[in-house]
């Protein structure tokens, strides 16, 4: 039998991994992971996110060993060095076929094209698989064969594709044990131990809040599906409640599959909470679909080219106050402080904070997009870019430009008792439920006044957007 190579990227799991399954079925299998510290920096990957990769890579190695598959780890600076490294590995290990799960951001696609080219020169077969998405992008098209630009018709068509792909969604991919474990040749002298990679300095609370491994991810999914999904529709927008799945970090790193999440939801298909959560999974799908079909969004560009003319304010002082949770709007500040302390932010609050920066302060949404990526454990380019462009009214199927969340109204509606605010802003903890959303004269001296008046900020944003649309 011929040797196979499974290349792990953002799919750090054994369970439901089509590339790994394909490799093991085809023959004796090696597995590799390639760390790229310079590329991480270029992509603004957060230290907490990279450390999460590290911890899950250790778990992956352990799970692969149970299958008699050795995980070989390398480090190069960036994607530019990967094709040559892959070429050397393929030759040294006498590989007949390379297996990997597809990724859709532009840099990743360009990387894979170069690797595919090297394989072609060496007459080595390539098997690539749909793993990140439930439905392949090339099949979810409108009647004219063009990609969707609006979420709702996309979601309808995607649901049909998922149903047609019944076996993928409703049955787990079988993983066979490596029957002929091949020894690792000594000539692969540049392989590394996981601990030797140039990882960021870890913090103890990261592991406390975000345990690693497939078992942890599956436990979190099962707990959510059994205990929380039934009330998801009613409670998901309340940031003080533990009402969301908090699976985004595991999905972003591929520690759990979208198919597994969909399967878990399907067990409770007659529940309205299930439909709402599946809709969120489809939004995740939509943003990856957008990145695939409209790659200019990967180049620091707005999806809607007319919004390039918006006179964004590049006020570094106001931006820094927003980053540190010092805007004078309690809900906004609580969200930004949650981001700094947890590496994560509740989704409702993500929208409020993003819209505050891009609309109230009229600061370029790309500044905020980058700050989120630099701090989020679940920082995923497609979802982060899509969410920011939605909030800033620059993206595909974005919020209308005149939709501008009032952070005080949002606070009163979704955090009525102020519990979320008190969790992250101790300066305001003593204020009453009615005053904590808008302290006014009751503002303590160690809490800032509002950076901008809501009415003024709204009017300024409307004028700016009207000008870009004229």
Contacts of 203 (CB under 8 A, 6+ apart): 48, 51
Q: Would the pLDDT of 470 be above 90? A: no
Distance of alpha carbon 6 from alpha carbon 129, whole angstroms: 11
Q: What is the pLDDT of residues 56-79, one digit of tens each?
A: 999 999 999 999 999 999 999 999
CA distances from 72 to 29, 32, 189, 449, 463 (A): 11, 5, 11, 54, 56
Instruction: Say whether 164 is catalytic.
Output: no
Cα radius of gyration (the chain):
23
Which of 169, 140, 139, 170 is closest to 155 using CA atoms? 140
Q: Would the pLDDT of 385 be above 80? A: yes
Q: What's the pLDDT at 304?
A: 93
Choosing from 75, 280, 419, 427, which is the catalytic residue? 280
The CATH classification number of 298-469 equals 1.10.579.10
Choosing from 199, 388, 390, 438, which is the catalytic residue? 388
User: What residue spans of 106-172 are helical by DSSP H?
Assistant: 106-121, 151-164, 166-170
> 5 with 32: CB under 8 angstroms?
yes
pLDDT band at 101 (very low <50, low <70, confident <90, very high): very high
Distance of alpha carbon 334 from alpha carbon 420, whole angstroms: 7
Mean pLDDT throughout 160-172?
64
Share of the chain above pLDDT 90, in %: 81
Mean pLDDT throughout 348-370?
98
Instruction: Say whether 388 is catalytic.
Output: yes
> 425 with 178: CB under 8 angstroms?
no
Q: What is the pLDDT of residues 232-260, one digit of tens each?
A: 999 999 999 999 999 999 999 999 999 99
Q: What's the pLDDT at 267?
A: 80
Q: Would the pLDDT of 169 be above 50? A: no
Choosing from 107, 271, 279, 347, which is the catalytic residue? 347
Q: What's the pLDDT at 175?
A: 80
Choosing from 322, 365, 371, 390, which is the catalytic residue? 365
Q: Would the pLDDT of 197 be above 70? A: yes
174: exposed, middle or buried (C-beta count within 10 Å: 0-12, 13-18, 19+)? exposed
> 162 with 259: CB under 8 angstroms?
no
Instruction: Say whether 280 is catalytic.
Output: yes
Q: Would the pLDDT of 290 be above 70? A: yes
Instruction: Say whether 365 is catalytic.
Output: yes
Tell me the helix, strand and coil percentages in the chain, rounded to 5.
Answer: 55, 5, 40
Q: Would the pLDDT of 167 be above 70? A: no
Strands 95-101, 71-75: pairing is unpaired
Mean pLDDT throughout 345-371?
98
Task: Look up residue 237 and give its two tokens.
Answer: 């927008």
Q: What is the pLDDT of residues 6-55, one digit of tens each?
A: 999 999 999 999 999 999 999 999 999 999 999 999 999 999 999 999 99
Q: What's the pLDDT at 166?
A: 52
Q: What's the pLDDT at 412?
A: 98
Q: Which residue, chain included where needed, has tokens 């991994």?
A: 17
Q: Would the pLDDT of 394 be above 70? A: yes
Q: What's the pLDDT at 270?
A: 66
The domain ranges of the chain are 1-131, 133-170+214-293, 298-469
Q: What's the pLDDT at 467?
A: 76
Among 275-279, 387-391, 410-414, 448-452, name the one with the lowest average pLDDT: 275-279
Choosing from 283, 315, 419, 427, which is the catalytic residue? 283
Choosing from 262, 312, 367, 390, which is the catalytic residue? 312
pTM of the predicted model as reported, rounded to 2 decimal places: 0.95
| Between 295 and 132, the higher pLDDT residue | 295
Q: What's the pLDDT at 201?
A: 87
The CATH classification number of 133-170+214-293 equals 1.25.40.80
Sheet bearing 29-35, strands edge to edge = 71-75, 29-35, 3-8, 95-101, 125-129
Instruction: Say whether 347 is catalytic.
Output: yes
The CATH classification number of 1-131 equals 3.40.50.620
Q: Which residue, chain included where needed, has tokens 């995607």?
A: 158
Distance of alpha carbon 3 from alpha carbon 326, whole angstroms: 57
Q: Would the pLDDT of 189 be above 70? A: yes
């Amino acid at each position: 039998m011929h040797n196979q190579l499974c290349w792990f990227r953002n799919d750090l799991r054994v369970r439901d991994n089509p590339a790994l399954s394909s490799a093991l079925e085809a023959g004796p299998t090696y597995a590799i992971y390639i760390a790229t510290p310079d590329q991480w920096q270029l992509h603004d990957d957060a230290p907490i996110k990279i450390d999460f990769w590290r911890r899950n890579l250790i778990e992956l190695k352990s799970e692969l060993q149970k299958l008699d598959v050795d995980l070989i780890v390398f480090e190069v600076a960036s994607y530019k060095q990967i094709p040559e490294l892959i070429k050397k590995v393929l030759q040294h290990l006498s590989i007949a076929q390379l297996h990997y799960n597809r990724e859709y951001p532009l840099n990743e696609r360009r990387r894979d094209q170069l690797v595919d080219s090297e394989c072609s020169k060496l007459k080595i077969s390539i098997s690539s698989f749909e793993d990140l998405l439930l439905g392949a992008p090339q099949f979810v098209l409108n009647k004219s064969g063009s990609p969707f630009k609006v979420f709702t018709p996309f979601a309808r068509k995607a649901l049909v594709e998922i149903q047609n792909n019944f076996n993928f969604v409703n049955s787990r991919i079988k993983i066979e044990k490596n029957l002929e474990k091949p020894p690792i040749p000594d000539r692969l002298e540049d392989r590394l131990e996981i601990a030797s990679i140039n990882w960021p300095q870890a913090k103890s609370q990261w592991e406390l809040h975000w345990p690693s491994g497939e078992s942890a991810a599956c436990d979190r999914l099962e707990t959510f599906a059994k205990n929380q999904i039934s009330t998801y529709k009613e409670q998901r927008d309340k940031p003080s409640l533990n009402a969301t799945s908090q699976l985004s970090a595991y999905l972003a790193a591929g520690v759990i599959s979208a198919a597994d999440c969909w399967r878990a939801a399907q067990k409770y298909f007659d529940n309205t909470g299930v439909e709402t959560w599946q809709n969120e999974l489809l939004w995740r799908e939509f943003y990856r679909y957008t990145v695939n079909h409209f790659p200019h969004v990967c180049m620091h560009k707005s999806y809607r080219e007319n919004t390039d003319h918006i006179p964004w304010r590049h006020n570094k002082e106001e931006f820094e106050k927003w980053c540190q949770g010092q805007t004078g709007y309690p809900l906004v500040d609580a969200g930004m402080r949650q981001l700094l302390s947890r590496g994560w932010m509740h989704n409702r609050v993500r929208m409020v904070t993003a819209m505050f920066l891009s609309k109230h302060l009229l600061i370029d949404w790309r500044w905020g997009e980058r700050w989120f990526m630099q701090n989020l454990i679940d920082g995923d380019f497609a979802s982060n870019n899509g969410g920011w462009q939605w909030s800033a009214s620059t993206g595909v199927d974005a919020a209308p430009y005149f939709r501008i969340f009032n952070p005080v109204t949002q606070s009163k509606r979704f955090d009525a008792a102020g519990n979320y605010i008190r969790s992250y802003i101790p300066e305001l903890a003593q204020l009453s439920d009615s005053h904590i959303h808008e302290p006014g004269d009751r503002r303590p001296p160690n809490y800032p006044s509002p950076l901008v008046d809501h009415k003024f900020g709204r009017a300024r944003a409307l004028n700016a957007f009207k000008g870009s649309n004229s």
